Amino acid sequence: MSDDFRGRRILVVEDEPHMLDLIRITLEQAGFVVSGATTGREGVERLREEIPDLVLLDLNLPDTTGFEVLREVRNAAPVPVIMLTVQAREEDRVMGLELGADDYIGKPFGHRELVSRIKAVLRRTEMPAPVTRGIVKVDDELEVDLDHRQAIVRGERVHLRPTEFKLLHHFLNQPGRLLTHESLLSRVWGPEYRDDTQILRLYVTYLRKKLERDPAHPRYITNERGLGYRFVDYTNNQGS
């Protein structure tokens, strides 16, 4: 899969001019075409003029809240959104993800983190339809046989219980993506389970014991405290 995102258009909505400049320089160096807006209203106007490939949205804006802008973006176009949030505001991230943001980046962030998060979201957005058949290779130590509903861990076939397989399958189709507890529970177990984080934690533990070399330091399924889980972005290794 091509990882060349040069020329993709990113709309950055950020009210601090210094921060906007820094982001613009970073993204232009990475080959993106950047348009900037310093208010929520301007951001929405830009979006109506031309739909970008991705929106980077600061949640703390002077005129409107980022949430309102997010809602407007969601109404205007199916464009992926990454929120910029202040590190400490966990409830902001939860709300943003519930409103349909694709990911968040906590301030302060590094240049490389910013570029790699954007590329990961673009890669996911452009991914082909969900994989439902055959063998999916995650890395040299882990493959998943979707036809036989088994994991192949360092060459050994590992039996998965139906719910373990369902959860793993869901993770495989959302590589690198932060999946909230609520979304995992309602997609894998059903909407009536959406608050049952206990059962989710239990099944993540089961999967880690079966898949991870060191379940105490997982690399496939990582935890985002208070928010959810993220499956490793393996789409980068799919090339050859």
Binding site for Ca ion (CB under 5 A): 15, 58, 60
Please check whether residue 11 is in contact with residue 47, taking contact to mean a CB–CB distance below 8 angstroms: yes
Residue with Cβ nearer Ca ion (65 or 235): 65
- Shortest gap between Cβ of 207 and Ca ion (angstroms)? 38
Contacts of 201 (CB under 8 A, 6+ apart): none
Indicate the residue among 34 and 232 with the shorter CB distance to Ca ion: 34
Find out whether 121 and 80 touch, Cβ atoms under 8 Å: yes
**For Ca ion, the closer CB: 15 or 182:** 15
Of 55, 53, 90, give the one whose Cα is nearest residue 71: 55
- Cβ at position 172, least distance to Ca ion in Å: 36
Shortest distance, position 104 Cβ to Ca ion, whole Å: 14
Nearer to Ca ion, 15 or 53 (CB): 15
Q: State residue 10 phi and psi, 5-degree precision.
A: -115, 125
Q: How many CA atoms within 13 Å lie on the side-chain side of 154?
A: 4
Min dist CB 54 to Ca ion, Å, is 19
Name the residue number minimizing CB distance to Ca ion.
Answer: 60
User: What CA–CA distance (Å, rounded) separates 222 from 178?
Assistant: 9
Residue closer to Ca ion (CB basis): 72 or 145: 72
Q: Tell me if residue 7 falls in helix, strand or coil.
A: coil
Written as one letter, the residue type at 136 is V
| Alpha carbons 229 and 94: distance in angstroms, whole number | 13
Q: Name, in order, each residue with C-beta under 8 angstroms of 81's C-beta and a sequence gap of 6 or more.
A: 54, 55, 56, 57, 70, 73, 74, 100, 101, 102
Least separation, in Å, of the C-beta of 86 and Ca ion? Answer: 9
CB of 22 to Ca ion, least distance (A): 13
Q: Which is nearer to Ca ion, 86 or 199 (CB)?
A: 86
